[in-house]
Structure 1
Amino acid sequence: MSRIPVEDDSAVTRFHLDDLQVAAAHVLPSQVWDFVAGGSGRERTLAANRAALDRLYVMPRVMTDVSAVTMGTELLGTKASLPVAVAPMAYQRLLHPEGELASAAAAAAAGIPFTVSTLSSYRMEDIAAVGGVTWFQLYWLRDRGLVTELVRRAEDSGCRALLVTVDVSEMGRRFRDLRNGFALPPEVTAANLAPQNASGAHERGGTGSALATHTRALFHPGVTWDDLAWLRERTRLPLVLKGVLDPDDADLAATLGVAGLVVSNHGGRQLDGAIPSIEALPAVRDAVAGRCALLLDSGIRSGEDVLKALALGASGVLLGRPVLWGLALDGEYGVREALSMLSAELSSAMTLAGCPDVPTTRRLRVVADSRPDGSDRWEGI
């Protein structure tokens, strides 16, 4: 794989996460960058996630004592120093030899949870041994015996929650990967799976994505609410459904007793044309009416984005691609840099919005810029 040509940017000071994105694009092989940065289809939802967040504005509160802002909170029953967790992301050894071990160490240092992907490139046991709070993300596999085994291993490893991804009946059509004929290099594997279940992602077959072919063979497209009941009988871990956007689905999940939901469109990597996650959040919030925790992902790039999500009812957010940018640049210390940037931005945003702690962010009003024709109109949310 060729590297993207770039002038030496080692002397460039990085102030925010967008700077990390630019730097990471310079150092990663082009096919790996496409795998990380790309979305499905024509990438409309990928772009819409950012556009939706950018059109939201917060009404700050004044005359509030913000001399000591605290960002600590509780996420899925565990304490976190920020209302942030690291999202589940596969095959992180593509970005850095230490992969998930480095990202998990940075999350532990920051005092936030790290979510281990089913398709992580290090074993969940090794990632959990790094320390810190870990959650496990479960893809529903065709082989129920493997599902049961993964859940048992997550419990034995000390994972504190089970995030069940429900929006991947099959992998979205990611045209960048299809054009690149993307496949994993031999040294990067789905370490949580036995070799016979992991090898398909390495097999190039002309134009097409080996990862899509692999997941199509591995993932079960026929999962229903009955399967959720089956899973609840087989684990003591809190169940969280990741990939919920419709309020009717959210209401049903809360009625069935899930511990939480992740309002997510998979970072624009599944159904192209799906609603931006932040726009789905208010209706989901109203549907669950406090019956379960709400997390949000897809498009979070700043502390201001986190503040908007909190104000609209999220308990916290999952941070995805920015973690990978930091990992690509400097392993654990690059991820630490990304998390530090986000923490500083959130602290500043809360201070300037008049919020001394996470609970007070709920009182903020959020409005949307609804001026496609340039007229001066604002829409309350």
Structure 2
Amino acid sequence: MTTDAPDGTAELSGRGRQNQIYSAGVFGRSPSVPTDFDELERRARRAMTARAWAYIAGGAGRGSTMDANRRALDSWAIVPRVLRDVSTRDISVELFGQRLPAPLLFAPVGAGALVHDDADAHIGRAAAQLGVPYIFSNQGCVPMEKTAQVMDAIRPGSPKWFQLYWSTDDELVYSLVARAEKSGAQAIVVTLDTTMLGWRPQDLNIGSLPFARAEGIDQYTSDPRFMEIVAERVANPVGVRPTVELTIGAVRSLFSMARNVPGSLLRNLVSPTPRTAVQTFLDIYARPSLTWDDVATLRDKTDLPVVLKGILHPDDARKAVEIGVDGVIVSNHGGRQIDGEIASVEALPGVVDAVAGRAKVLVDSGIYSGSDVFTVLALGADAALIGRPHMYGLAINGADGARDVVANIAAEFDLTLGLAGHTSVADLSRDALSYRGCRH
């Protein structure tokens, strides 16, 4: 569905969103994306290639952590209160001094070009139209500066954060942070749970790693420090260049590298730079030796709020607060890193209690609906990150699809809030829920 607003904005209130959809229905127009997650997922799978589906929808191992994320949410029941005036509601929240129209953020998802060309720019457009933050992916397919320009052209000062993967090269780390600051990012989100890739059978079974084809490394190939490292390696190759087996797959990969690295296609096809850039990325993109001292150093080097993504243990939450971190994201990376890991929502109450209001607490992994958002906010989260759903919307209908998916989640949350007898996010507490399940 295309909204009537000239800037492409979508209504976030429940009744307003319903009215948009039903009014369009009078003229025979149905929504651009399904309004329930199950059908959204089915249609997105049909719209995606096998490689895209494996990367976006896949999980670690047998997928038990993804299942646990769903069970943890389903183990809480909403307990409505009645005979309260809920005619006026406010779903806005404040994060780091900025008032947001809904307690939602577009989560960072790498290698988005598997789903849609220039994915990050389209997601940024969707977020800007709604006025909620987009966390730029460190593994994005569009340089952060371009995405920021797209967002600010729609809504000047659009909320935007930057996700940081800590490379083995500290100069590169701080170059990325400096670029994020110049691009108008309002927070740095350090992802802690991917210091190495988890075991992901759906990708492994088809031998597909997007980054090996230069998909999802645009933040790096647009970075002066990274390209300096690449140039040094081209000028001073170490060892013998491996023989490349000439296959159709190898030719496709070569063309992918040539297209996705700056420069002309023809020149890149004969230049060692694209292949060297890919190998450099694979060599340095993550740092398993990362420690609390590194995070403390980052805290001293930037004035932006620092948020740690991947916190699941209360002791880690306490340590984060002790070193001056401004927020934590309770996350198991959407079940993509460890098979058999604790569900994010199961870990959430313990982290909230450990932080005790001294930092913001956000949550992701398996949050697919407005009622899910209600549950995590009642458990103490300040906001929720939406990941796979917005990528599914992107696959189906580009920027409009990504926008409408998140608008639908916000609208359902607004209706759920009112129907449960509450008028604002601040009203919510664990008293709004009843525990009904067994943890597994």
Query: Shift in Å at residue 362 of structure 1?
Result: 2.5
Other-structure match for 2:92: 72
Secondary structure at the counterpart of residue 193 of structure 1: helix
* CA distance, structure 1, for counterparts of residue 94 and residue 218 of structure 2: 30
Q: Which amino acid aligns with 1:120?
A: G
CA contact (8 A) 1:133 1:159 kept: yes
- What TM-score does the superposition give when structure 1 sets the normalisation length? 0.88
Q: 1:92-241, aligned counterparts within 5 Å?
A: 92-130=112-150, 131=152, 132-184=158-210, 188-194=215-221, 215=282, 217-241=284-308
Other-structure match for 2:356: 289
Query: Shift in Å at residue 216 of structure 1?
Result: 6.0
1:340 aligns with 2:382: no
Decide which structure has the larger Cα Rg and report it: 2
* CA distance, structure 1, for counterparts of residue 172 and residue 71 of structure 2: 39
- Decide whether aligned partners of structure 1 residues 31 and 213 sit closer, same or farther in structure 2, where only a CA change above 3 A counts: farther
**Equivalent residue for 1:39, pick from 52, 59, 76:** 59
Richer in helix (by share): 2
1:315 aligns with 2:382: yes
* CA distance, structure 1, for counterparts of residue 121 and residue 133 of structure 2: 13
For structure 2, list consecutive stretches of 5 or more residues without a partner in the other structure.
Answer: 1-28, 153-157, 231-244, 251-256, 258-277
- Larger displacement relative to structure 2 (14-23 or 323-332): 14-23
* CA distance, structure 2, for counterparts of residue 220 and residue 18 of structure 1: 36
- Larger displacement relative to structure 2 (340-349 or 284-293): 340-349
Q: Which amino acid aligns with 1:136?
A: F
Q: Which amino acid aligns with 1:233?
A: D
% same residue: 41
Deviations 1:64-99 (A, max 9, x none): 211012211112332211100011111211111130
* CA distance, structure 1, for counterparts of residue 63 and residue 202 of structure 2: 10
Query: Shift in Å at residue 370 of structure 1?
Result: 3.0
Deviations 1:213-265 (A, max 9, x none): 96564211001111111111211110000000000000111111111000000
* CA distance, structure 1, for counterparts of residue 419 and residue 279 of structure 2: 45
CA contact (8 A) 1:34 1:176 kept: yes
Query: Shift in Å at residue 354 of structure 1?
Result: 0.8
**Root mean square deviation, CA, Å:** 2.4
Other-structure match for 1:56: 76
* CA distance, structure 1, for counterparts of residue 177 and residue 57 of structure 2: 30
* CA distance, structure 2, for counterparts of residue 369 and residue 14 of structure 1: 29
CA contact (8 A) 1:241 1:261 kept: yes
Query: Shift in Å at residue 186 of structure 1?
Result: 5.3
CA contact (8 A) 1:60 1:364 kept: no
* CA distance, structure 2, for counterparts of residue 192 and residue 11 of structure 1: 37
Q: 1:370-381, aligned counterparts within 5 Å?
A: 370=437
- Larger displacement relative to structure 2 (353-362 or 242-251): 353-362
1:298 aligns with 2:365: yes
* CA distance, structure 2, for counterparts of residue 266 and residue 216 of structure 1: 22
* CA distance, structure 2, for counterparts of residue 31 and residue 102 of structure 1: 20
* CA distance, structure 2, for counterparts of residue 342 and residue 231 of structure 1: 34
* CA distance, structure 2, for counterparts of residue 363 and residue 175 of structure 1: 37
Query: Shift in Å at residue 368 of structure 1?
Result: 2.3
CA contact (8 A) 2:307 2:328 kept: yes
* CA distance, structure 1, for counterparts of residue 209 and residue 317 of structure 2: 35
Query: Shift in Å at residue 187 of structure 1?
Result: 7.3
Other-structure match for 1:377: none
* CA distance, structure 1, for counterparts of residue 51 and residue 183 of structure 2: 33
Q: Which amino acid aligns with 1:157?
A: S
CA contact (8 A) 2:141 2:215 kept: yes
- The count of residues paired between Structure 1 and Structure 2 equals 355
Other-structure match for 1:14: 34
Moved over 4 A (4+): 10-13, 195-198, 210-217
- Larger displacement relative to structure 2 (134-143 or 94-103): 94-103
Other-structure match for 2:18: none
CA contact (8 A) 2:299 2:325 kept: no
- What TM-score does the superposition give when structure 2 sets the normalisation length? 0.76
Secondary structure at the counterpart of residue 306 of structure 1: helix
CA contact (8 A) 2:379 2:430 kept: no
1:243 aligns with 2:310: yes
